Structure 1
């Protein structure tokens, strides 16, 4: 079960003892007892007795509703037990345990409903007796025998004085009972078990309600016995309220229901859904004021759930202050495939580290106006169960993601954004199967990524193309000196060098110096290269456990790792498309020790093979050389380093999505 921010409820020593005794003694059974209508009857009685603070009597859905005989018998027997024990002045605690023994076949929530039915019946009888004296001679004579409390009469001051504390008690007990009932009903629908902390609350809340009902009926009997000496009754009711924690139980259950049951309700909704519009209505309570779309600059359209009907739908999940550059490709792709039945809903998420301010809604609207698709009109925060679902089930961190649902509301990809960013409309309908097919049929390579940005020159025999990158200009200078020296003096090999910059966005290097054999990409080309590289690497790793080993062995993840950890890197390939990837340290080692391996080149060996053979012993002897930020859902996989072959260590990687 997912963990939520609902803290454990703290209990006094007495409460802990009660919980331990009750949990040890009673294994509560869930007897087949439909008490929804009974709860409505109880509320109506309390309303009629003026013991509910707010609201109006609830109209019964079934006016002919009747209790089963065994339930009616149970309620009456409970009332008799309380009346008899009170008349015999039996200890309250002993009576409570007798009642709990008698009700051991019922769940805690059913026990609470039955006890409130006893209180409602008891007080309702007194009210009926008082109100019927003018119409019924029998009632008039019975009233003389029963002597109902004077608060039920015409003395308004006395009525207010006596009923106000009783109203507070009933209101608090009803509040707890409603939360218990709602909680249990929803848990039963979703087929989930209550956590141990919730079972404790059910247990102690039930105990205190049973105890309060017994005390209340006993006090009422004393009130009847004393006639107009009513002064002690309000004080006793207030003591009952002070001795219980109904407000704390109600709030705890309400919060727990919000975080736990509604979260599981979302899980259940995704499992049961067969229609996107109904799913949106279920998880977002999606109405016109919760989802909107900007048409042009200022015109805003309210959502029509029919717009999602029968379409493939993408949930674009980002932080609320996402930049337009992070969804520019998705925007173009959306405009291309929208007519094919594709809609997007932007779900802006508020990071838990950011303090809420009203001005954030203005920022939210500014971003929404840049998007051609639908968006929520509010921010998802950690107080929303959808926030928890996105974090825990879809593993959203901070990087934008695109969860895709087919027209039957089934999730077909938990993050299609890398695939969309690389293959664009070609990847529609953006399912995992489509992604696997694209990898199988189109098989992206580093050369294809480069040629998408700038076609490579025709490679002649004996020529080498060298793609390199670095954030360290001194390393770049030394590397170019090494390459030029190879061309002019050492190996007389022809090279074309392409500088692609660095993935450290704020350190994109500018063109420097004059080098006839070097091509320096502009900043936009560099950014596109690194984004494509990231998207392809992420696409491979997203496909799952069986593809992670393969993904880490390719050059995409390795280049990203070199850029993060090394001074630089270089990828060299020749006319046969054979390529070799070197890290900055390896290249430095090569140019400082040219005399140790250059002899093989002079004898006719390929220069890339000569460098690789020379570096092989160095690889085997060095420390772990690659780091990888992989999918968080894959946590037990043992992966070998593609550079040295040793087992990679696992550790947490904290990475901000803004470079």
Structure 2
């Protein structure tokens, strides 16, 4: 797609030098931002010729070379120093400019196109910045004056005003073109997403624009170095090393490329975005050799190292997630409440620290702004959390979440149903999505839920046979001990102090009737200050035990997660009965004054009382209390709720064939729902047989 035979030949020669290495990765956007800072700060009097934005670098730019540079054996600073020396060394050689440009292509052959232009501009920025530092501080700083004299800098730069104006315009144009190349390269320029003709044209423009940026950069370096070679008697000579006219011609050349690149950006953006969305819809449904292709399509649209480690803050690449279950935690930039962060960390650490699962999974945090555009508050929240998130290991986050392709953001919101609440999407080792929201599994089961797939979630529900245990789990060690010890347990909830006092009085009646029972207060939905005050009163009046306020928040979070998890499988064939029963048990109305659940240790039976119906149940305590040991607490309370009034006698009888232990099991009357008394009836089978024979 070159515009001429000469361009086509040039592109062919350029491509022969291009052999990118995955180890040589660079944050081109951030490095270009540093160059813009240098240029804007170096010559303020020339700033009216520049259209550059004065960016503020992270940490004042002091760590850009350490943590945001090239990930390879040698540091970014050393690489730039080596390139600068080679360029300056050849400035004084009688060598063809084209040959020098091709040497630079050879030097940068292992970098991608966006990295090539950023590095070349960084080398120029160093020379440009050093020169203006000496000139600016020469009048008042003795060291700067000595260095300027040793470098033979002209004492009067006024005669070079036109050249410096042209130089400022050229540098500005180089930055604009480089920024557009980086933006164009950030699109998924893949033959599968673009027509061959469009793809080839876009790439050809990048190759040619890169060549002329290299050439312009060498010209600028020549000009700055050439000032040192000009004798004082040549200052007014027309035969200067680089003339303003030659610089202006380069400006016009790059201006043409800038227009072409922007046109290509418009042409490429729409088809790539529409096809990218279609590809995303399909790629996560397919099983592949590994997860690399799917993750690259999702993340590696701008950078080859899109992640950073929570602890070391080092950059990480997509290939580091190969052969791992990738847990995508998608939230708003402010992440979660403090309590949820604590709970999530506890649950995930329990999982990630298990030896058998070590290295098999990776948690990746993806913050997405609700408004669609990141503001300063969003960035501050992200930076704080990404540096202080307390996950113990295998925790990553996007390095620059604001750069996430908007097509990907739209896909996550529309296809994965991300709105305001956090979701956790699971991608298996083969790049297939196995669960669109596994965060409820984390709240409910923690480590046991790995690998957090939908099939694993259903399997866990089918294994549940103790309702009380799944509700309480390990929220409090004492409660867990009671469940495992077979205790009669009552957990109750309310924010109505009068209801709580009346309910605890009824519990006292139960205990007085000989029922061994442990009652525990668990707060109310979305525990707040009111619950704290109720909790304090319960403690002062010694009504019952109470879990801590922090554990209350965790308890209600898990309860809500249990409801949502059960709802997903309500139509699943073969779904265990316990989940359906839980759904009914957890169907509480916030308008009720309170509710209570009764159960015994590992028994599958649980009874629920809510609102005022506990009064009717406890009214018959003298009748049913003696049967608790025989029938179990939950079943006895269920039967008590259906008791007929005591002033009505029931004469219902039932006859059972004798079996070992049948009398100990007990029987509930089908009419009045009270426990029936056991009587023994004898019958002579032999007499019956004789009567039959007589007939």
Q: TM-score, structure 1 length as denominator?
A: 0.49
